[in-house]
Amino acid sequence: MGYVRDMVRRGIPGAYVLSLRIGSSMVQDVENSFFMNVNDQVSEVCSQLAKNPHLKGGYNAMGFSQGGQFLRAVAQRCPSPPMFTLISVGGQHQGVYGFPRCPGESSHICDWIRKMLDLGAYSQAVQEHLVQAQYWHDPLKEEEYRKKSIFLADINQERGINETYKKNLMALKKFVMVKFLNDTMVDPPISEWFGFYKSGQAKDTVPLQETLLYKEDRLGLQEMDKAGKLAFLGVEGDHLHFTEGWFYAHILPFLQ
């Protein structure tokens, strides 16, 4: 994130850039990205943003991988200060159903996470203490997902329509979604463009525009799409693999 922060500063001299951290140290921040309740993380970020005098007039937000969906939750739940543009770089907005790789693949953490997901992604203990379970979306168990997912099912309006969520998301001037065209980490990769597997199976996928979320306009995405507020970008490469040149050409304009 320090590298990205520096790119933004070089591209927009004088810009104020806040790199969010959850915890008192970088080590704690990494641990929290695996084990801290996502709803608590979102609340912590909302508090940080509200207390920051540099952001009181509004801000643009950029999230990488799961940070993209977490910042969308911030936009939906915490409209003050206002978020102008949300850039999701590889964010899994319909969740994941698979964990082929994870950061630190050689670490025992990855194997442990897979074991917990296999044992029961929707058990209360796993939901509350494993971040990846909180956006685990099982297309073979849609009803269980809707009932027991403590984070993703809520922000995706799976249990009912929270009009405040919809209103707050629609207040964005732009919602940019970046999909990595050769992604081997996110399953399915189309989740990065808000698509997902067809319900009841885990082979064929549908784009956002063919999902009930869009057709019923539960989050206002259909209306935002028609208004030109949604941007779908594709970049060659595996998860979070992009060049500085691509960043300056395709992402920086949304921040200016």
> For residue 212, what are its two tokens?
């009930």
Contact indicator for 110, 104 with CB cutoff of 8 Å: yes
Contact indicator for 81, 57 with CB cutoff of 8 Å: yes
d(CA 145, CA 133): 10
SS3 at position 192: helix
Q: List beta partners, residue 64.
A: 89
Angle between helices 163-170 and 66-77 (to 10 degrees): 110
Residue type (1 letter), 40: D
CA dihedral 84, 2, 29, 55 (to 10 degrees): -30
Q: Which residues are catalytic?
A: 65, 183, 239
